[in-house]
Amino acid sequence: MTTDPVLALTRELISRKSLTPDDAGCCDLIGTRLHKLGFALEWIDKDGVTNLWATLGQGAPLMILAGHTDVVPPGPREQWATDPFTPTVKDGHLYGRGAADMKSGLAAMVCAAERLVARRKFKGTLAFLITSDEEGYARHGTRHAVEVLKTRGLKPDYAIVGEATAAHALGDRITIGRRGSLGANLRVIGKQGHVAYPLKADNPIHRLAPVLAELVATRWDEGNAHFPPTSFQISNFKSGTGANNVIPGEAEAIFNFRYCTESSADGLKARVAEVLDRHLPKYEIEWWHTGEPFLTRHGKLIEAANAAIAEATSLTPELFTGGGTSDARFLAPWGAETVEIGPVNDSIHKVNEHVRLEDPMRLSQIYEKILEKLLPAP
């Protein structure tokens, strides 16, 4: 058994089966620890989602430590070497659902706050914003809590999200922005007929093919110093009756943009519409927009994170903007300089999710060093 307090708290959290949006008592456990330090607790729950807002101190700077207690389903039990909700130490790793995404991150944050508060007083506010709906629709989680907190005129200076961001070793990569995601379902309406009588039909595949070719060949933007160019990918293409002598009546394509801060969702939609209108007499398109891109401003938090990581690991982190989405997309637009710093992410959402035994404590030390640098002595 370990005496490492960060590992111990990580294990306690893993043993709570918190499948989205069920918090399964994780926030109670964290809240109890924070309350002992003098944090004021507030629950901003909505529709079965648990949102804990805990604050210590007052005024600026306001530093938010943010994360989620929910985990994705473990999948087939037989594919796991150990029970996903029984934290298990094996071969220098801690195994369990949420070990990396992101119960070790939460434990590292709580223990960092405990050590800092035990050591000294500070000026400003240290806050925790923890939700049980990040892996799901994420509508009633951080997004909802931020909307409520905004109405009080609160303006955060910094936010650290404890998502797993490292590629190979703790500290080798932190996330400072994310691409936006915009998708569409396009339906082209033609007229069914016999292949021998094309003049009596209208082939939607023939109409759609040049459209897709043009969209694929389009350079949407050039990217910038932090983002690669916007990418366009067709994920589904469907048409045909199965018969080789029938011109089909309809064709469908589903496509997705991962777009950078050089483009906007409305701009991309307008450019696609221009192409469609030029080629297609009859079509329907349904758009879905699941995330704005953001790039955090480069300020004191990135500087402090770089310095803290160098001290704790002797690595210089890559400033990354790739990967999927996270709740940082709600915190950065609120005005906080926002970074995501967490353990190695190669096992997240997979069977046998794990974290290196030494990483939760080292991550906690990184967080503590950042707090040390940005929360000034009174």
Residues 65-104 that bind Zn ion (CB under 5 A): 101-102
Nearer to Zn ion, 157 or 327 (CB): 327
Contacts of residue 277, Cβ cutoff 8 Å, sequence gap at least 6: none
Catalytic residue among 4, 22, 70, 135: 70
Q: How far is the CB of 335 from Zn ion (least distance, A)?
A: 22
The β-bridge partners of 187 are: 252, 284
As a whole number of angstroms, the distance between CA 219 and CA 230 comes to: 8
φ/ψ (deg, to 5) at 30? -65, -45
Task: Rank residues 15 and 326 by Cβ distance to Zn ion and give the closer one.
Answer: 326
Structural contact between residues 260 and 182, judged by C-beta atoms closer than 8 angstroms: no
**Nearer to Zn ion by C-beta: 102 or 215?**
102
Candidate list 114, 134, 163, 340, residue with the active-site label: 134
Least distance to Zn ion from the beta carbon of 147, Å?
Answer: 21
Residues 157-216 close enough to bind Zn ion by CB under 5 A: 163
Nearest partner of 337 among 296, 295, 292, 307, judged by Cα: 296
CA distance 173 to 315: 9
Q: Is 133 a catalytic residue?
A: no
Within 13-42, the residues that bind Zn ion by CB under 5 A are none
- Give least dist CB 102 to Zn ion, A: 5
Q: Using alpha carbons only, how large is the chain's radius of gyration in Å?
A: 24
Please state the closest distance from residue 77 (CB atom) to Zn ion, in A: 22
Q: How many residues bind Zn ion (CB under 5 A)?
A: 3
For Zn ion, give the closer residue by CB, 101 or 337: 101
Minimum Å gap between C-beta 342 and Zn ion is 8
Task: Say how many C-beta atoms besides its own lie within 10 A of residue 136's C-beta.
Answer: 16
Helical pair 5-14 and 104-119, crossing angle rounded to 10 deg? 140
Q: Which residue is nearest to Zn ion (CB)?
A: 101
Report how far apart, in Å, the C-alpha atoms of 42 and of each of 58, 106, 129, 153, 278 are: 15, 18, 10, 16, 54
Distance CA 215, CA 208 (A): 11
CB of 218 to Zn ion, least distance (A): 33
User: For this structure, is 202 an active site residue?
Assistant: no
Residue 305 CA, distance from chain mean position = 19
Q: Which residues within the stretch 100-159 sit at the binding site for Zn ion (CB under 5 A)?
A: 101-102
Residue 49 or 247 having the CB closest to Zn ion: 49
Pick between residue 50 and residue 203 the one whose CB is nearest to Zn ion: 50
Residues that bind Zn ion (CB under 5 A): 101-102, 163
Kindly list the catalytic residues: 70, 134
